[in-house]
């Protein structure tokens, strides 16, 4: 397959994905082009490497199963991000919060992150991640998309189906909660 790995190849890649003779090679390229970015998008939300891998795998399975339903109304990467966010929301809705209560004698989220072989950040990074993990699911995702992914409110609105005004309010409330948590625990 001779499709170049570039942002301009969406139409060519989509055409190859819809051709049974090229579909496997085209999908392999799609995975290769998007895995790293999707991994980090998911990882910033769920924090765990293993959970991230599971969600990423589910994202690509869902994309594979639905590739023939993709209409091309958006870029393939936007479509994959939407699937990844939906898979992440589904995962979070079925899992209790990842944080340990403050009065618990168990290992704190900061210690869990710092001992994770895939985490290479500072104590401040770990404290930020712990603060983010304590946000309600919707605020957590909005904060991660705006702060870490540097997405515009318009993009987040399209991705989550939420009004820009509601996104701005949720983001600012999340920032306040994170700031308060860091001040209290630093």
Per-residue pLDDT, 102 = 40
Per-residue pLDDT, 4 = 52
pLDDT digits (tens, 9 = 90+) for 89-148: 889 878 765 444 443 433 444 455 445 555 455 667 778 888 888 888 889 889 988 998
Distance CA 84, CA 55 (A): 7
Instruction: Say if residue 6's pLDDT is above 80.
Output: no
Q: Where in the chain is the domain with CATH 1.10.1740.10?
A: 8-95
Instruction: Say if residue 176's pLDDT is above 90.
Output: yes
Selection from 60, 96, 78, 68 nearest residue 158 by Cα: 78
Per-residue pLDDT, 138 = 85
CATH fold label, 102-186 = Arc Repressor Mutant, subunit A (1.10.10)
Quote the DSSP letter at residue 10. Answer: H
Q: Where in the chain is the domain with CATH 1.10.10.10?
A: 102-186
95-to-35, 70, 178 alpha-carbon distances in Å: 23, 29, 22
Lookup result for tokens 């799609």 = 30
CATH fold label, 8-95 = Rna Polymerase Sigma Factor; Chain: A (1.10.1740)
Distance CA 159, CA 153 (A): 10
Confidence of residue 149 (pLDDT cuts 50, 70, 90): confident
Percent of the chain with pLDDT over 90: 36
Token digits of residue 51? 């959970």
Distance CA 6, CA 81 (A): 17
**Exposed, middle or buried by CB within 10 Å (0-12, 13-18, 19+), for 155?**
middle
């Amino acid at each position: 397959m001779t499709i170049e790995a570039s942002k301009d190849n969406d139409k060519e890649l989509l055409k190859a994905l819809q051709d049974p003779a090229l579909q496997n090679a085209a999908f392999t390229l799609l995975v290769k082009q998007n895995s790293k970015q999707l991994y980090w998008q998911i990882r910033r939300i769920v924090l765990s490497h293993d959970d991230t891998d599971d969600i990423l795998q589910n994202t690509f399975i869902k994309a594979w199963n639905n590739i023939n339903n993709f209409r091309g109304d958006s870029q393939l990467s936007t479509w994959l991000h939407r699937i990844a966010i939906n898979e992440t929301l589904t995962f979070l809705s079925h899992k209790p919060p990842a944080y340990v209560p403050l009065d618990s004698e168990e290992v704190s989220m900061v210690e869990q992150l710092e001992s994770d072989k895939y985490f290479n950040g500072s104590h401040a990074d770990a404290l930020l991640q712990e603060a983010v993990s304590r946000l309600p699911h919707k605020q957590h995702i909005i904060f991660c998309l705006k702060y870490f992914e540097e997405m515009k409110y318009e993009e987040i609105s399209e991705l989550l189906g939420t009004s820009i005004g509601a996104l701005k309010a949720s983001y600012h409330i999340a920032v306040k909660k994170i700031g308060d948590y860091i001040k209290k625990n630093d």
